[in-house]
Amino acid sequence: MAQHDAPATTIPSLPDGLVAIVKKDCPTCVLVAPVLADLADRSALTVITQDDPQFPQDADWVVHDTDLSLSWHHDIETVPTLLTVVNGRPTDRIVGWSRPEWEAFTRTDSLGVDLRPWSPGCGSLSVDPTIADQLAVRFSGSTLTSRRIEIAVLEDDWEAMYDRGWSDGMPVVPPTEARVLRMLEGTTRQPDDIVSIVPPDLVECTVEKVAINAVMAGCMPSYLPVVIAALEAACTDEFNMHGLLATTMPCGPVMIINGPVRERLQMNSGVNVLGQGNRANSTIGRALQLVIRNVGGGKPGGVDRATQGNPSKYGLCFAEDEEGSAWESLAESRGFTDGQSTVTLFPGEGPRIIFDQQSRSPESLTKHIALALRANISPRMAMMFDAVLVLSPEHMARYRDAGWDRNRFLEEVSSHLVLDGDDIVRGSDGIEEGMPEFLAGSPVPKFQRGGLLVVHAGGGAGLFSSTIAGWVTGETGSVPVTKEIIP
Amino acid sequence: MTTVLDPTGELSPQTRQRVARPESLEGLTIGLLDISKPRGDIFLNRIEERLTAHGARVARYKKPTFTKPAPVDLRHEIASQCDAVIEALAD
Amino acid sequence: MHDINDLERRGIPGVFTATIEFSEAARIQSEALGLDVARVLTPHPIQDRTDDEMIAIADQVIDELIAAITASA
């Protein structure tokens, strides 16, 4: 895709000097009509009317904002708005009616002395929800450069999108211009900014393309920065999205969210955290997968060669329960502060359960978790595969009660995760698969250093935790990547 | 009509593509769907002869009326039994 | 046309045969369906043709029909 120049849309100029933006369908504007006439006379006010071209009266100082272009481009949200305009651009503004404010703003005394001194403004016609989308498409649609595709009259929208290969098999929301423009309001980045080069086709992916796919996935505009950060993380050399896609191992990008954004997006870190039902959790992970599918061209059976795949490849995204945790968060353990919002990408399979309802001591629970983690990928594999441990609140309580912190836990669990080379080398126990023979006789840690990521999530009762096993770690595979989410 | 923005890298044409075609008809089953207009059968009989000469097998189908799309069951039957289909003959 | 459109959706290559009278209708219908349905046109009319004439028409279009359901070299 070519890069595009800045949008050619020109912003229409306002008349210089004092300007009031009003509509007749606003009691406050009607209330101040005599003040407007007074200011036109005394301070050369220009009135811009949104609805009735002869409001407040038929005069040469009244201009009709016929297509609401002036109101839209100059971000008028309330009427009346009083503006000071220099070189066609507003330099200062006040909204609503307040005699002292108007007198100070216009440097004019005795304004509307017969009127009540204060009255709130009304919504500008340019932000009326029934037409705001049309205005956005009319005035900023031209900033979008993606190809327009007309779905034929006899085609069903959803069938047409499916037929074009744009879906993971589940319904997608039609990415109309109005929806995409709304989505783009979720970020401060420009639509033509390049986010990443997306594998496997190595296509330059713009913010606009991410927004289109986020619409299709069902995201709200506020989720867009998370999807963008996740895409940046996925397309790093370390995470190696291309390799993860192309491997026959059935793994995909798993997203773990930390920081204030969790609350803002009302993400789920509690009951059923790894399951369905929360919009942000369900759609953010999916949006990333749709970008890889649609922009990158990575489709199952094409470059995606996963032998069996796994259900988390529809998009697995969840938030850590930081508030309910006794420990620092995953992001903090990876060098971020609790005020930063982050996404951590892990190349994972689906979650599996660790069942422990009897351990009363942290020692017992830790030994049991370690035993379960030995099965990560295969009990005969060591060092090559990372894991995420999703610790539930009732398991976390064991550690809180005993005063264990994250480091204590990691030390203890690692001490139970040293395997005997004799048990896991090729050919031992009559099993041909295993680690290379030279490890016989040596102790072998199950995980490389930093290869066990621990997150606290889940809700209410339940003495279960979960593990998510990873694809090959290190340079030949994929390393977990954490990125800050920037609005 | 809905206008949507292309979510792809725009490396391929925007129209819906016809499905991939086989390289030859040798050994394939070709469905001949008669839309039930007079004399279409004579036309299709000849088409069958010619296809058979090309090494294809031919399966014949007839929809109840040319005024409506074929019933779902018939389309499913064709899709599960044939490698390609020729529909004839509208006038 | 709807039948071929549906069969293409099911992964079956298809071609639709009609007389030239259908040419414009078929084009419009194709646009409406969002798929350029493969079609081969024959002379019009056909209902009053003799068997020999019908066979001649079939012979005239058979190569085009085969081309429409096979990959071009």
| Domains, chain A, ordered by start | 17-140 (3.40.30.10), 226-484 (no CATH)
> Distance from C34 to chain A by nearest Cα, in Å?
5
Q: Region C56-63: what's the mean pLDDT? A: 94
Residues in chain B with CB shorter than 8 Å from the CB of C36 are 15, 18
Domain that holds residue B73: 29-88
The three-class DSSP label of residue A306 is coil
Number of H helices, E strands in chain C: 3, 2
At C72 the pLDDT is: 66
Inter-residue contact C58 to B50 (CB < 8 Å): yes
pLDDT at A356 over 60: yes
Angle at A392 between CA A387 and CA A395, to 5 degrees: 105
Q: Inter-chain contact B87–C4, Cβ cutoff 8 Å?
A: yes
Residue A304 vs residue A413, higher pLDDT = A413
Q: Inter-chain contact A152–C9, Cβ cutoff 8 Å?
A: no
d(Cα A314, Cα A295) in Å, to the nearest integer? 16
Chains that touch A (3 or more CB pairs under 8 A): B, C
Is residue B2 a part of any domain in this protein?
A: no
> Distance from C60 to chain B by nearest Cα, in Å?
10
d(Cα A186, Cα A210) in Å, to the nearest integer? 12
Q: Inter-chain contact A295–B2, Cβ cutoff 8 Å?
A: no
Is residue B66 a part of any domain in this protein?
A: yes
Interface test with B, best of C1, C2, C4, C16 (most B CBs within 10 A): C16
- The domain total for chain C is 1
Q: The dihedral of CA A231, A235, A240, A246: what is its sign?
A: positive
pTM: 0.76
d(Cα A246, Cα A476) in Å, to the nearest integer? 13
Is residue B15 a part of any domain in this protein?
A: no
d(Cα A427, Cα A422) in Å, to the nearest integer? 10
pLDDT at C4 over 70: yes
At A6 the pLDDT is: 38
Q: Inter-chain contact A209–B11, Cβ cutoff 8 Å?
A: no
The three-class DSSP label of residue A457 is coil
At A9 the pLDDT is: 54
Return mean pLDDT, chain A: 94
Six-digit token string for B59: 């399966």
Q: Region B69-88: what's the mean pLDDT? A: 92
Task: Look at residues C55, C66, C59 and name the one whose alpha carbon lies nearest to residue C14.
Answer: C66
Is residue B35 a part of any domain in this protein?
A: yes
Q: Region A403-416: what's the mean pLDDT? A: 97
Please state which of the ranges A33-37, A209-213, C9-13 shows the lowest mean pLDDT: C9-13
Q: Region B36-48: what's the mean pLDDT? A: 91
pLDDT at A7 over 50: no
At A210 the pLDDT is: 98
pLDDT at A8 over 70: no
Q: b or e along A129-163 (b: 16 or more beta carbons within 10 Å of the residue's beta carbon)?
A: eeebeebbbbbbbebbbbeebebbeebebeebbbb
Is residue B54 a part of any domain in this protein?
A: yes
- Most confident of the following: A13-17, A149-153, A161-165, A246-250: A13-17
- The domain total for chain B is 1
Is residue B71 a part of any domain in this protein?
A: yes
Q: Inter-chain contact A163–C9, Cβ cutoff 8 Å?
A: yes
pLDDT at C1 over 90: no
At B14 the pLDDT is: 65
**Residue A1 — pLDDT band, cuts 50, 70, 90?**
very low
Residues in chain C with CB shorter than 8 Å from the CB of B20 are 13, 71
